[in-house]
């Protein structure tokens, strides 16, 4: 049982949305150190809103977000990033007008001091060895990379920032199954090395099968939670995604 102060992420009573629309209602979730937590749900469930609120791009309407006991819900986005909470957003969002290499370099923006520079250079080389197709394209503008390559670049960009919490928003969107496999394998690998990960996904089965714990988000509220493997077996998930059977309707 993780102590409240050591929780990497502790969200309670979170209500958030845009302008006049409230998307998230009273969200409660936690992420402990070294865990891979999945948040799954159909479209419109509020998954992206959740991550953007944690990252500081959206001000919550109510509730608290804590990182190791300290409140972070009122901090501006750059400061949340400086705390080590890094976000790989939906649609990757690499900088298309800069090279693959420069995109990766910007991931280390916060670590840039003359001491760290050689270490960063080394880590960049390691990434290019680990993902050789990115290595081949290191001088290309990131805008011409394929979807899968952009996804890998976005993840590498986050990893080089040495995050305390790595958050990913639907990394599988728009990717072929084989590439999605590769992405998930990378996440499993990082988890094995001790990374704390919050994975938001629409592909419930895949995400939950690599997760320690999971939450199911539906229409802005958490409707199910539990251990990853347990959740998969529960029929509620199918209902949440594909609707009730005609005879199920009350």
Partner 1 sequence: MELLSVAVTGLAVGSVYALIALAINVVFAARRIVNFAQGDLVMFAGLLSISLITAWHWPYFLGLIGAAVAIAVLAVLIERIAIRPLPREESSISWILSIVAVAVIASNAGQLIFGAETRPFPPLFENPHVEIGGIRLDPSQLTAIGATAAFLLLFHLALNRTLHGKALKAAARDPDMAMMLGIRVSRYIAIAFALAGVMATLASFLIGPLTFINANFGFSLGIKGFAAAALGGLGTLPGAVIGGLLLGLAETFSSTYLSSDLKDIITLSILYGILVFRPTGLVGETNIVKV
Partner 2 sequence: MTSFDPASPGQDVGRAARVRAMLLVAAMAVAVGASLMIEDRYENYLARLTLINIIVVYALNILIGYAGQAFVAGAAIFAVGAYGSAIGVMHFGVPFAIAWPLGALLAGIVGIVSALPALRLAGSYLAMVSIAFNVVAEQVLILGGDITGGPVGLPAVPPVAFGAFTLGDSGTLALIAACAVLTIYCTASLRDSQWGRAAIALRESELAAKSLGIDTVWLKMAIFFVTSLMMGLAGGLYAHSTNYISPDIGGILASFVLVLMLVLGGIGTLWGPLLGACVLTILPQLLSSFQKYHLLVLGIVLLIAVTQMPKGLAQPQDLLNRRRRRSNAGPAGGTQSASAVPDLLVLARPAADAGLTLSARNIGKRFGGVVALSHAAVDVRPGMIRGMIGPNGSGKSTLVNVLTGFYSPDEGTVTLGGRDIHRLSTSAIAQKGIVRTFQTPRLFSDLTVAENLSAGQFHHRPGNLLSALLGTPGNTGVNRQAAAESLALACALGLGGLLDQRAGDLSQGNQRQLEIARALAAHPAILILDEPAAGLSHEESMNLCTLLENLRAQGLGILLIEHHMDVVMRVCDRITVLNRGSVLAEGTPQEIRANAAVQEAYLGKPAGAPATAAAGEA
Pick 3 or 114: Cβ nearer partner 1? 114
42 binds partner 2 (CB under 8 A): yes
Among residues 79 and 133, whose Cβ is nearest to partner 1? Answer: 79
Strands 62-67 and 165-169: unpaired
Among 43, 109, 144, 230, binds partner 1 (CB under 8 A): 109
Q: How far apart are CA 58 and CA 158, in angstroms?
A: 20
Contact residue for partner 1 among 4, 18, 71, 82 (CB under 8 A): 82
Q: Considering only the stretches 6-14, 97-105, 127-135, 205-213, report the one whose residues sit in contact with partner 2 under the rule CB under 8 A.
A: 205-213
Task: Work out whether 219 is an interface residue with partner 2 (CB under 8 A).
Answer: yes
- Residue 225 is encoded by which pair of tokens? 């939670």
- CA-to-CA distance for 24 and 62, rounded, in angstroms? 10
Q: What residues between 103 and 132 interact with partner 2 by CB under 8 A? A: none
| Element holding 40 (H helix, E strand) | strand 36-40
Q: Does 249 bind partner 2 (CB under 8 A)?
A: yes
Q: x/- binding map, residues 69-108, to partner 2, per CB under 8 A? A: ---------------------------x------------
The answer to whether 182 and 190 have CB atoms below 8 angstroms apart is no
Q: Alpha carbon of 35 to those of 181, 195, 222, 244, 249: distances in Å?
A: 20, 7, 19, 32, 37
Looking at the Cβ atoms of 91 and 234, the one nearer to partner 1 is 91
Residue 175, both tokens: 């990717």
Q: Please, which residue, 103 or 172, has the CB nearer to partner 1?
A: 103
Q: How far apart are the first and last CA of the chain?
A: 39
**SS3 state of residue 63:** strand
Residues making contact with partner 2 (CB under 8 A): 20-21, 42-44, 96, 143-147, 170, 172-174, 176-177, 201-207, 209-210, 219, 232, 237-238, 241-246, 249
């Amino acid at each position: 049982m993780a102590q409240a102060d050591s929780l990497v992420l502790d969200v309670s009573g979170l209500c958030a949305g845009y302008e006049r629309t409230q998307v998230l209602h009273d969200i409660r979730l936690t992420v402990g150190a070294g865990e891979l937590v999945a948040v799954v749900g159909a479209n419109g469930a509020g998954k992206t809103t959740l991550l953007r609120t944690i990252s500081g791009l959206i001000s919550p309407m109510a509730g608290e977000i804590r990182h190791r006991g300290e409140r972070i819900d009122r901090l501006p986005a750059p400061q949340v990033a400086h705390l080590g909470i890094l976000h790989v957003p939906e649609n990757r969002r690499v900088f298309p007008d800069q090279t693959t290499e420069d995109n990766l370099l910007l991931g280390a923006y916060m670590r840039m001091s003359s001491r760290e520079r050689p270490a960063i250079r080394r880590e960049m080389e390691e990434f290019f060895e680990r993902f050789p197709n990115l290595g081949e394209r290191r001088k290309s503008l990131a805008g011409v990379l394929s979807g899968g390559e952009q996804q890998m670049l976005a993840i590498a960009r986050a990893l080089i920032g040495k995050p305390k919490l790595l958050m990913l928003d639907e990394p599988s969107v728009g990717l072929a199954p084989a590439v999605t496999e590769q992405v998930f394998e990378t996440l499993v690998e990082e988890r094995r090395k001790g990374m704390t990960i919050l994975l938001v996904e629409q592909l419930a089965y895949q995400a939950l099968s690599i997760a320690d714990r999971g939450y199911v988000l539906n229409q802005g509220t958490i409707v199910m939670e539990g251990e990853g493997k347990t959740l998969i077996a529960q029929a509620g998930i199918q209902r949440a995604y594909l609707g009730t059977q005609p005879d199920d309707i009350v």
